[in-house]
A and B are shown apart, each in its own frame.
Chain A
Amino acid sequence: MKRLARLAPLLAALALPHAATAGGTRTHTVSDFDDFDAGEAVGAAIEGSGRVTVAYLPARAEITAASAFVCHAAAGRAYIGTADPATIQVVTPGKPGKPVKDAKDAKIKQQPAPKVEQLAELPGVVVTAITELPGGDLLAATLPGGVIHRVTAKGKVSEFAKLDVGQIWAITPHKGRILVATGPKGELYSLDDKGGDAKVILDSDDKDLLSLLVVGDAILVGTAPGAKLLQVTSELDGVLLHDFAGDELRALALAPAGLLAAVNEFTDRGISSLDALTKNLNRSSLIGQPSEGISDIKPRAVKASAKLYHVHLGPGRDLARAGEATWEAWLSKDKLYFTDIEVLEGGAALVSSSFDGKIYRVRGRRDLATVLDLEERQATALCRLEGGALLAAAGDGAAVYRLDAAPAITATYKTKIFDAKQPATYGELLLRGRGDLKVRARVGPSDTPDKRWTAWSAVPLTREPDGLHGRLRQPLRRYLQLEVTVPSADAELREIVAFYAPENLPPLVKSVELSRPEVERDDDDEPPSTATIKWKADAADDDELVYEVRVRPEGADERQWIKLNGDAPIDKKELKWDLASVPDGTYEVEVRASDEPSNGVGDAGVDALVSAPFVVDRTRPRIESLKVSATEVSAVARDDAGHIHDVAFSVDGGPFRAASPRDGVFDGRDEPFTVPLPEGLSKGRHRLVLRARDAFGNLGTLAVIVDR
């Protein structure tokens, strides 16, 4: 086969590299909540409608631990429980300051960070629960084990109680006693304020009581792995209020009109990693962890999904409605799990999540927003101090944030990294929104910005009736990121449309084949004259392809091509062709593929491939040199285009029987053969039909009268 080179596009590309090779126009669009939520916001809220508006400017303080896990609010301060080491940190948020602009670059100065001091270090891996006793001492539990520690204001640690449980997930005071939610037997304990008189007041079927909420006199618990909401009653097994679809009811909160429940579901992990994990555990249990390590700190999407449910309890907070009224899913997210809920004074609820440190604000089914995007990979806990200060604890890089230190006076929103799949020419940028939005853009060759990326460059915008327009004058690069500044509280960003044309990759025709019906010896008819031309082609860049198919006698000049696909290109990868439409001879077929539908006539890439030569033979073979005797008939089967495939004979209209070539093999254009007359043939006149078939299935016959 030979490949036809197409030089014209190449020459054009050399003359006008960008314009000439630009492919079809496409757009990167950010318009709805999920689109916007894929990016990063600082001081911005991403509303459920897809609007980006100004929101909190968080003030951050670092904690020396691997992760902050739990937060307990007290008067004027909060206590954060950490993991590795298991410590209790005292956080005093301070008073909100005034937002300040830096004179030089007009960036917001960070507000004073909350003050963090370590109160105590406890034995164990992680502090899982904290509460405060009336006298000011803290009770805290750590993993693993069932010990509740008492921690004084000066950080002195003593054992408050020891329960026969594996884990303690929540502790809260209730009517002068201490409630302790535990695992793995799913028991809720009640202790007196000295840590004694331990009673199990709920013994659930589930493993872990992961969340605990006191509503007036009522006690609610959320379980894992059943994700059930139970109410404590005088019966030891309580009352099932609701059985959620999921694996754990991680957090419960009381909203103004109802109850909120954060439910997580984890995709089964499978056991394919068993051997590797077991080997790793066995080794690390002997030699600890290796002195060398590697960590992939890209945000890791866990195999989980999370839902925030709300049930309306009515004006009297009728908890019975939690068992019969509809739980509405207010917020659903995939690839993350929720960690905590905190209800704000106005009734909105904040929900912290595991992925990318995002915190969502929810007011109802349709009123939701991403209000914070922490630097750390997880937002692990929320707590609201008396007086309104709101804190968020961050995990996997421990920190605490004061969220309501001050509202931001501007917000910035960075899009996710857009991928054009190929180096692309960027064009018009359209922003829809309100206010004096500013845009910067950068491009690069990798899916993570690094030093190969261009610096941020401002994109001048002009206001037109349909929005703000600008021109992305970026070099030809595959990846693009945009940053939009929302300058004031009354401004908003609703949509981003960035036009681009990826560099076109020409298609590739990989093979062209002509197939026709198989010729069988026992066929009594000639095969149909239709052949099928099939080809394989690859667009390389997902472009839509069309094809032209033409045929010519082998070696003929360009003018002798005969188009087979009619007036318009075809988009299928095969074509039926009637071989009877051309004279017998040797031909070749060319298939030309073009990505014109995706790129337009001027920029289309073309590739063509010519098939191997093939023979068209519609002429029937002849039977000549006939000699007839009383016992046999001999003749020569002859074909002009190919070899003789087989010869058969029929006596007196009977079935055809195969004849043998004289030289033992049917392999030539001339095949002498002899047909002995059947021995049992009666005397008299008989009709004999000789039939020769060539390699293409053409049949030639000759009738002979034989006298016996």
Chain B
Amino acid sequence: MANPAETRRGASEEGRARGLLAALLLGALATDARAVDTMPVDQVRPGMKGYAVTVFSGDKTDRFEIEVIDVVRDYLPRQDAILFRSADPRMIHSGIVGGMSGSPIYIDGKLVGALAYGYRFNKDPIGGITPIANMLAVDALPYRPEVLPHTPRIGGQARPGAAAWADAILGLGVTPLPPRRRPEELDPVGSLTPLGAPMSVSGFGPGATRLLGEELGLVPVRGGSGRAGADPDAAAKAAPKRWQGGDSVSVVLVRGDNAAAPNGTVTWVGGRSGERLLAFGHPMFGGGPTSVPIADARVHVIIPSVDRSVKVSSPLTVRGALIQDRQAAIALRTDIQAEMIPVTTHLVAPEPELGARTYRSEVAQGVDLTPALVASLLTDAAEEGAPDAAAVMAEITHIINLETSKGPRSVTIRDEYFFDRGVELRAVGRARGLLVLRILLDNQFEVARVRGVEQTIKLAYGDAIEEIEEVRVAQSEVHAGDLLRLEVWLRGRRGERRRELIDVRIPDDAGDQEVQLQVTGGEQARPYRPLPRSLDDIIDTLEATYPARSLVVSVYREGEGLSTQHGLLDSLPGSVLESLSIDGSTRGPVRYKQAARRVLPTAALIAGDHNLRISVLPARATP
């Protein structure tokens, strides 16, 4: 066995020589993708030797040697995997490194593919190569700016699409448990797994970082600065970048005061002026057509790990856009710029001495991606504002500026939460404004263009919450037309009880009927709304809520109304109601029980939902 030191030196020298050759070769190839000499996977044999190109530190590429172990046929659908081993001492020390995804691998000077897979907890630097032919197929896919990518890996919802957010906003079928684990997480050791793109994060606290990593399914690496790239002037002044295989590349998900940028390596450069890049050798989210900024990156260091070593990197300057996110590669274009959404996050911390703080960032666009990234910014502010375990009230306001087909509008969503043992970040991440953001991007009518989000979290120590303990009706007989006095007993967190007297008018025509009285908090009751005909209708419905700090008293009647796309039809005569309730169709107006409501402002949040059914006697005889 060779002396490691000699081997390292030898590899370094050979690497420099071959690097020069490769630079020349890639420089030439960069002007025309078809000039790249590639080796089909069929020609790859066990024992073949070659090298990989990647950045170990800084922004200069380097090489390490590899030897083909074997070829695994159909490792993925219509995609083989080439197993290799590296004898490079650096690789023996660190194993296959997250962030090397996409590192081009050459055998006999021909591009074989990209380093893309590895084994976790591996003892030897054994990895997998995605064949270049599969990657080039991704390059052939067009840029689709009209598509907002839907990335099923994000979020872990039990039900797809609109059903999921409707469940969440109505409080149905939601669970405080974290998302289910993805299959690749269940058996991390037994098979080749994508190296993944280590996501450099900065400006995020540990809790928000963990949630962001969980939400996106990426390994967060704290320590990489993300400020670069946020300044458009700096980007304009930056020298043009001439990309080459092995360069470090970051996908910019968040930039500004907070930053998150998964990092990997460029495999292939093509196009007439080197504007077409392929990287990673595996998907990032697998969202297909995408439009997210990319930046060149500087590698600070490789952190060796028993589990998986990662590169710590920072994005430098935005250089283009990720346009396709597919099984075999991500496709990048340097001649296309991707829009980001500005997000301003205000924090009013419970300690006045901390003062109000404002963070300005931009997030990438995507049906699931944008809400997840905006949520991460909010949870970060919440974490910063109240990292302790004291009882705290959180008032969250979202102002979302958007455009629908009917023009620009602004949506304001407010909600309030009580946390008895410190802010629960996961709950903050499900704030109603964030759900609304998801609705705007994923509904049955149209995809709204989100122009900006301003979110504010005001935290205050305290427990301004009361639970409805009892609702009592003093009258033994209730007649139609009576003014009914309800005694509502409320209990605070410290056990203090108070009584609220609420007068409710029983409708004049409710004689001989049963009515249901409901007393609940403003968060638990929803105003009746008609069937939506457009996204704007849905937004109107979302904005129509009762204040969180209110008691809502509803009197439900036996009579029914109809909710239609043209409005609510209340108090319909029986024959009209029946005639308009279409039996022979799977679609039609939606029936509802008529209700009269009183909303009473309260000083505290109200929890609980009490219902009383009352048999109403005929109206009292007029004297």
Q: Residue B573 contacts which of A247, A283, A338, A354 (CB distance < 8 angstroms)?
A: A247
Given contacts A66-B582, A84-B588, A377-B584, contact A144 B556 (CB under 8 A): no
> Does any Cβ of B come within 8 Å of A413's Cβ?
no
Residues of B within 8 A of A143 (CB): 566, 569
B526 at interface by CB-CB < 8 Å:
yes
B566 and A125 contact, CB distance less than 8 A: yes
Query: What bracket does the count of chain B residues touching chain A fall in?
Result: 35 or more
Are B509 and A277 in contact, with the CB atoms below 8 A?
A: no
Instruction: Verify if B110 is at the interface (C-beta below 8 Å from A).
Output: no
> Is B531's CB under 8 angstroms from A125's CB?
no
- Contact in complex: B516, A271 (CB < 8 Å): yes
Whether the pair A210, B573 counts as a contact (CB closer than 8 A) is yes
Tell me which of A289-297, A521-529, A544-552, A577-585 binds B: A289-297
Q: Judge if A286 is at the interface, Cβ distance under 8 Å.
A: yes
Interface residues of A in 142-190 (CB under 8 A from B): 143-145, 166-167, 183-184
B559→A286 contact, CB < 8 A: no
Residue of B nearest to A273 (CB): B593
* B574 in contact with A247 (CB, 8 Å): yes
Determine whether A572 belongs to the interface, using a CB cutoff of 8 Å to chain B. Answer: no
**Distance in angstroms between the alpha carbons of A289 and B516 in the assembled complex:** 27
Instruction: Please name the residue on chain A nearest to B528 by beta carbon.
Output: A281
Q: Which residues of chain A are within 8 angstroms of B515 by Cβ–Cβ distance?
A: 271
Given contacts A264-B574, A278-B592, A337-B574, contact A287 B166 (CB under 8 A): yes
* B588 contact from A66, A184, A210, A300, Cβ within 8 A: A66
A293, A295, A339: the one within 8 Å of B579 (CB) = A339
Measured between beta carbons, the chain A residues less than 8 angstroms from B566 are 86, 123-125, 143-144
- Are the C-beta atoms of A378 and B568 separated by less than 8 Å? no
Q: Does A588 have its Cβ within 8 Å of any Cβ on chain B?
A: no
Whether A568 is near chain B, meaning CB under 8 Å from some CB there, is no
Cα distance, A126 to B589, chains bound together (Å): 11
Task: Write the nearest CB–CB distance from A209 to chain B, whole angstroms.
Answer: 10
- Mark interface residues in A265-308 (1 if CB within 8 Å of B CB, else 0): 01011110110011111111111110011111100101010000
Given contacts A125-B564, A266-B574, A304-B574, contact A274 B556 (CB under 8 A): yes
**Residue of B528, B569, B573 with most chain A CB atoms under a 10 A cut-off:** B573
Which B residues are CB-close (under 8 A) to A377?
583-584
Q: Is the CB of B593 within 8 A of A277?
A: yes
Partner of B162, one of A123, A183, A264, A287: A287
Judged by a CB distance under 8 angstroms, whether A397 is at the interface is yes
In the complex, what residues of A have CB within 8 A of residue B531's CB?
284-285, 288-289
Q: Which residues of A contact B570 (CB under 8 A)?
A: 166, 184
> Which parts of A196-247 form the interface with B (CB within 8 Å)?
207-208, 210, 224-225, 247
* A378–B580 CA distance with the chains assembled, in angstroms: 11
B532 interfacial contact with A, CB 8 Å: yes
Q: Is the CB of B613 within 8 A of A271?
A: yes
- Distance (whole angstroms) from the CB of B615 to the closest CB of chain A: 11
Given the interface pairs A67-B582, A124-B566, A144-B567, the reply to whether A285 lies near B541 with Cβ below 8 Å is yes
Closest to B574 in A: A266
Q: Inside 8 A of B591's CB, which chain A residues have their CB?
A: 277, 280-281
Q: Is the CB of B573 within 8 A of A284?
A: no
- Give Cα distance in the complex from A288 to B533, angstroms: 8
A354 to B577, CA, bound (A): 12
Q: Does B290 contact A (CB under 8 A)?
A: no
- Does A258 make an interface contact (CB < 8 A)? no
Among the listed A124, A224, A281, A354, which residue makes an inter-chain contact with B563, where contact means beta carbons less than 8 Å apart? A281
Please give me the residue from chain B that is nearest to A226 by CB atom. Answer: B509
**Distance (whole angstroms) from the CB of A331 to the closest CB of chain B:** 16
Interface residues of B in 95-148 (CB under 8 A from A): none
Q: Is the CB of A270 within 8 A of B567?
A: no
A395 at interface by CB-CB < 8 Å: yes
8 Å CB interface, B60-97 against A:
none
Within 8 A of A (CB), among B455-476: none
In the complex, which of the residues B532, B562, B576, B585 has the most CB atoms of chain A within 10 Å of its own CB atom?
Answer: B576
Known: A208-B573, A268-B558, A270-B558. A380 touches B593 (CB 8 A): no
Flag if B530 contacts A126 (CB, 8 Å). no
Of B512, B515, B564, most buried by chain A (CB within 10 Å of CB) is: B564
Most buried by B among A144, A207, A224, A293: A144
B563, B565, B582 pick with most chain A CB within 10 angstroms: B582
Contact B172 A279 (CB under 8 A): yes
B574 adjacent to A67 (CB under 8 Å): no
Q: Does A248 contact B (CB under 8 A)?
A: yes
Known: A271-B557, A285-B530, A285-B532. A354 touches B593 (CB 8 A): no
State in angstroms the CA–CA spacing of A73 and B308 once bound together.
Answer: 83
Q: Nearest chain A CB to B558's CB is how many angstroms away?
A: 5
The B511-564 residues at the A interface (CB cut-off 8 A) are 512-516, 526, 528-532, 538, 541-542, 556-560, 562-564
| Alpha-carbon separation in the docked complex, A266 to B573 (Å) | 10
Q: Would you mind naming 21 contact pairs between A and B with Cβ atoms under 8 Å apart?
A: A67-B579, A83-B579, A144-B569, A166-B570, A183-B573, A184-B570, A207-B573, A210-B573, A210-B576, A225-B573, A271-B514, A277-B560, A277-B592, A282-B170, A283-B170, A283-B172, A286-B162, A286-B166, A354-B579, A378-B579, A396-B584
The 10 A-B pairs at the shortest CB distance, nearest first, are namely A293-B586, A266-B574, A285-B529, A224-B573, A287-B162, A281-B592, A144-B567, A125-B564, A125-B566, A337-B575
A286-B169, A293-B585 are known; give 15 further A-B pairs, CB within 8 A: A84-B588, A86-B566, A125-B566, A143-B569, A144-B567, A271-B556, A271-B613, A277-B590, A283-B170, A285-B530, A288-B444, A288-B531, A288-B532, A354-B578, A354-B579
